[in-house]
Structure 1
Amino acid sequence: MNALTLPDIAAQASRQNLPLEWVGMCGIALPVLLGGQRLSARIDAGVSLDDGDARGIHMSRLYLALEMLEQENLTPARLQRVLQRFLETHEGLSNSAYLTIHADLLLKRPALISPLAGWKAYPVSIDAHVKNAMFHVELKIDIPYSSTCPCSAALSRQLIQQQFIDDFASSPLQHADVLDWLGSTNGIVATPHSQRSNAQLRVRLDDYLDDLPLIALINDAEAALGTAVQTAVKRADEQAFALANGQNLMFCEDAARRLNVALKRSPGINAFHLKVVHAESLHAHDAVAESRWNWVTA
């Protein structure tokens, strides 16, 4: 019995002669190495279909090329090699290749005062593409932080001042009495509202970089904001966190400007687009600010 050749339907000609900008797969499960850490990732991989007469691409070839990401740390050079493999296996069909890696980067973060530490997950995406023979890498990072409203803080201070006037207007001030008043709920009658907030950073890297500076970017952003959310804490850490919030009052506009300055100082970045979202505790809607530098939307 003669063996039959398996049909290759994708090799058939298209009936419409229409090129496509992106064809591939999304959500491919793959373990990857980043900074020596094994991460469970989801991969989007694709190429352009520039030959409008071709019915389809060879998706299995893209899938097999992703094996190059399993054994060694993710670097710009390794990403470029994978994309080049995409194009080599689609010679005559594709001129552009695309690869996006989605994962949660786990970092162990120390408490502010005590010796405790805990893990925090940062959603990250690494977007690499070759288009018109040019290779580019972009990083996307979500960073949670706390924000305390400056307006609410000022209004709270005014109420405390008024309560102080009411309580001590007709009595001489004694140090012990004032100290007791400051430590009581009768004295501190109002507190400003705070909310968990999120900074969404999207940065384009310089071509000369040998590594992906995800951790450095996270550290720079958290230092600029001053109020990164915590993991394991004791009361001393919680008090230090309250102090940090009190010394870093910020509207969403303030947070966006702080991050703008910090990212411009970070080495290896030639463009960025950032967005901060303050999930208001006063309102039922969010407060949002965005900022760009050298960012051109393709």
Structure 2
Amino acid sequence: MNIHDRDPDREEVEHALATLRRWAQTAPEEELAGLEPPLARLVPGAELSNGPALRRAYPEEFTVDEAYKATLPDLQNGPSSLIRGAKQAIQHVGISNFRLPIRFHTRDDGDLTLETSVTGTVSLEAEKKGINMSRIMRSFYGHAERAFSFEVIDSALDAYKRDLDSFDARIMMRFSFPVLRPSLRSGLEGYQYYDIALELVEQDGVRKKIMHVDYVYSSTCPCSLELAEHARQVRGQMATPHAQRSVARVSVLLADGAECLWFEDLIDMCRDAVPTETQVMVKREDEQAFAELNAANPIFVEDAARLFCEGLRNDARISDFRVVASHQESLHSHDAVSVLVEGPTFANESLDPQLFATLIHRG
């Protein structure tokens, strides 16, 4: 029967498939290997591949030379025709949260090595496909052995800006900075940890050095304190004012040419402005002292922002600044928040939708 002048029906196809599989059971391996890929897929147990047989073992002995590297594809440095979407400049592109140990110098002339999370980004021109992100890490690692300061971050920024041929660039380093704190009355000591971020931003040829610190404190509601006292004095009723753990994120732009603003300096400024910092080591006498300290310093969230502002304004090393405060209410199911900005650096009409949600004290 000749089926070449018409389409085969299902019965004929099934018969041909059965014939192929019977043949495959006794055919030599070299003949099976020579089958066209579409036919090979129909043979039970045959390799389902559209290409040559590939080795599966990792080649420990293989080494890369310059000639081989020259053959490797590099899509990110390809022509603009490879761009997907709009040919639009990107303000920030890079990597976030690569971590490494960094040595920081302290105000008392010591050194601390701290796990540091680094974010590095550059601008990308509209006609460029992308960047080689590993260059940011390589540039940063080239400076990682030095005790870090803004001068060292300057050098790291220069390096990866040059490597990536970009106009604008940014580095942010986040870490938790320990300071030994005494208790209020018992003489015990414990480490308080402060979330700090250093930011170096270059835009349109201008570099800005920014420091952020999260300060955790207790806020006793002045209104609640007065109401509790009223109940005691007028009705002889014991009552307690509500207080809550609160967080302020203080961000400062360092003034050009100013003396060094140490991490400890900014932390001390926060402690002076709002002295009810949460405690580390506490015995009964310390707990009583903390109750007295809170009663002496009741504070609304508006007060907190303005008290921090007062201290920041009085330091010539600080230019623009922003205070974001969150009092995580024990009375309400919501938080009380405030944002105070001085200068254009931190002025934004729009706020990050998750801004206040990040103001928490992580255990």
What TM-score bracket applies, with the shorter chain setting the length? 0.7 to 0.9
Which of 90, 93, 104 is the equivalent residue of 1:20?
90
> Are 2:96 and 1:31 equivalent residues in the alignment?
no
State how far apart, in whole Å, the 2-side matches of 1:203 and 1:125 are. Answer: 11
Q: Structure 2 CA distance, aligned partners of 1:250 and 1:191? A: 15
Contact 2:261 2:317 in 1 (8 A): no
User: Aligned AA for 2:135?
Assistant: R
Aligned to 2:131, which of 47, 57, 67?
57
Amino acid at match of 1:33: R
Q: CA–CA distance in 2 between the matches of 1:242 and 1:295?
A: 39
- Offset at residue 22 of structure 1 (A): 1.5
Residues 139 and 204 in structure 1, CA contact (< 8 A), matched pair in contact too: yes
Residues 67 and 122 (structure 1), Cα distance of their counterparts in 2 relative to 1, 3 Å cut: same
Structure 2 Cα separation of the partners of residues 275 and 18 of structure 1:
33
RMSD value, Cα: 1.8
Pairing 1:8–2:62 present: no
Is the alpha carbon distance of 1:272 and 1:195 closer, same or farther for their aligned partners in structure 2, counting shifts above 3 Å? same
Alignment of 1:145 with 2:223, yes or no, is: no
Aligned position for 2:327 = 278
CA distance in 2, matches of 1:295, 1:147: 29
Q: 2:275 aligns with which of 226, 230, 239?
A: 226
The Cα shift of 1:267 comes to: 3.5
Q: Structure 1 or 2: larger strand share?
A: 1
- Sequence identity percentage: 32
Asked if residue 238 in structure 1 is aligned to residue 310 in structure 2, the reply is no
1:184 corresponds to: none
Could you tell me how far apart the structure 2 residues matched to 1:99 and 1:11 are?
Answer: 22
Distance verdict in 2 for CA 1:160–1:219, change over 3 Å = same
* Among 92, 106, 119, the residue aligned to 2:191: 119
Residue matched to 1:71 = 145
| Cross-structure match for 2:200 | 128
CA gap 1:42/1:212 in 2 versus in 1, 3 angstroms: farther
- The Cα of 1:151 is off from its aligned counterpart by 0.7
Secondary structure of 2:103 counterpart:
strand
Flag the structure with more relative contact order, 1 or 2, with Cα contacts below 8 A and sequence separation at least 6: 1
**Matches of 1:53 and 1:288 in 2, distance apart?**
43
Q: Which moved more, 1:265-274 or 1:69-78?
A: 69-78
3-state DSSP of counterpart to 1:118: strand
- Residue 13 of structure 2 corresponds to none
Q: Distance in 2 between matches of 1:73 and 1:212?
A: 16
CA contact (8 A) 2:260 2:317 kept: no
Mapped to 1, the partners of 2:298 and 2:245 lie a distance apart of 13
TM-score if structure 2 supplies the norm length? 0.71
Check whether the contact 1:273–1:295 (CA below 8 A) recurs between aligned residues. Answer: no
For 2:51, the equivalent position in structure 1 comes to none
Counterpart position of 2:240: 191
Q: Please, which moves more after superposition, 66-75 or 253-262?
A: 66-75
CA contact (8 A) 1:75 1:211 kept: no
Question: Which entry has the higher C-alpha Rg, 1 or 2?
Answer: 2
TM-score when normalising by structure 1? 0.86
* 1:41 lines up with 2:90 in the alignment: no
Could you say what secondary structure the match of 1:81 adopts?
helix
Offset of 1:235 from its aligned partner? 1.8
| Counterpart Cα distance in 1 of 2:316 and 2:284 | 37
Cα deviation, residue 7, structure 1? 2.2
1:128-184 deviation per Cα after TM superposition (whole angstroms, max 9, x unaligned): 1111111111111111000111111111111111234xxxxxxxxxxxxxxxxxxxx
CA shift digits 1:80-137 (9 cap, x unpaired): 111111122123xx10111111111111111112221111221111111111111111
Shift of residue 6, structure 1, vs aligned partner:
2.0
**Gapped runs of 5+ residues in structure 1?**
165-187
Measured against aligned partners, the alpha-carbon deviations of 1:267-289 in whole angstroms (never above 9, x if no partner) come to: 31101110111111111111111
Amino acid at match of 2:103: L
| Amino acid corresponding to residue 102 of structure 2 in structure 1 | V
Match of 1:85 among 159, 171, 176: 159
Q: Is the 8 A contact 2:259 2:317 kept in 1?
A: no
Q: 1:212 to 1:66 in 2, by over 3 A?
A: farther
Runs of 5+ in structure 2 lacking a partner? 1-64, 349-363
